[in-house]
Homo-oligomer: A and B are copies of this chain.
């Protein structure tokens, strides 16, 4: 982690004295317009304001253990996605042990997210933050490193490039287990209803699916992209099942709600689960046990994952040795939605 930004850093970046920075920010005379502009640009780049500095002095403890989380997902979707509610409840439980709070913000895009991080850190509204939905070359990682705000990424370390602590689940190993299980049952045409292809973990799963299918000599495995909503999961399932010729006999879903929606589509089309079509859900929230048949799933403790992420963040905040690392890998829980294919 880089240390906190001070007036000296701004001065060094602008090539002036600390006194000049002070003049610029107090709107005092004695500086040329270009110098004033250069100082302001340096301060913006470093995320520094004089208000921040004064504020930091005024508050000894950083925001009583409050942790920030920005989500770039639509509000309605947030309420319908079991992963996020479980993840947030896991975070909130650990924060409560420390008498802290979770500062939650919804935004439309990642640029806005970085602006929120900067404002929160300046005003000492949070002691650190949690990053989710990592992309490859995620712009938030270098922005946070520049800011010096403690942050833990819930995502594979390959996506953080060693510039942020990471807690992750081994999605590639989990996909491989799911595909090997389906192959063992006799499935040769396996497809997947994936998530947002811009997200790093979606890409990791896609590559693992294609590689494992090739290793096992199965037919090439298709992955269709979605926005993780039940509606998109239903549409992708219809697309996959539309062809009677190369219709898959098994579908892996990237979350539970899409698997539940997919099961309803299969029934609409008169397909028997699991005889005509095997389904495997992902996350294994309570939804998987409420359907008929109950859904086989790649199961992991999402609540515990959220707790592990925020514990690592508190290690960082408290300057204790951080032990980021993988959370337990999701394990296959076979239920009534997976079986050998009838036609095989």
Contacts and interface: CB of A to CB of B under 8 A. Distances in A.
Instruction: Decide if the interface of chain A is mainly helix, strand, loop or mixed.
Output: helix
Interface stretch (A95-103, A168-176, A336-344): A95-103
A182 B78 CA distance: 34
A104 B101 contact: yes
A119 B116 CA distance: 23
A286 B75 contact: no
Interface stretch (A86-94, A153-161, A241-249): A86-94
A101 B105 contact: yes
A266 interface: no
Interface string A50-64: 010011001000001
A104 B102 contact: yes
Interface residues of A, number: 43
B93 A76 contact: yes
Contacts of A88: 79
A74 to B, nearest CB: 8
Contacts of A230: 286
Given A58-B55, A80-B286, A290-B291, A75 B102 contact: no
A85 B85 CA distance: 6
A55 B55 CA distance: 9
A106 to B, nearest CB: 4
Given A85-B85, A290-B290, A290-B291, A90 B103 contact: no
Contact of A89 (B51, B79, B102, B116): B79
A312 B186 CA distance: 58
Nearest to A93: B75
A303 interface: yes
A141 interface: no
Given A102-B104, A103-B101, A303 B66 contact: no
A207 interface: no
A260 interface: yes
A253 B134 CA distance: 40
A292 interface: yes
Given A85-B79, A260-B290, A303-B75, A96 B92 contact: no
A327 to B, nearest CB: 16
Contacts of A106: 92-93, 95-96
Shortest beta-carbon contacts, A-B, top 6: A75-B93, A79-B89, A96-B106, A85-B85, A101-B105, A79-B86
Interface of A: 51, 54-55, 58, 64, 66, 68, 74-76, 78-80, 82, 85-86, 88-90, 92-93, 95-96, 100-107, 116, 119, 125, 230, 257, 260, 286-287, 290-292, 303
17 contacts: A58-B58, A66-B125, A75-B96, A76-B89, A76-B303, A79-B82, A79-B88, A80-B286, A93-B106, A96-B105, A101-B125, A102-B104, A230-B286, A260-B290, A290-B291, A291-B291, A292-B292
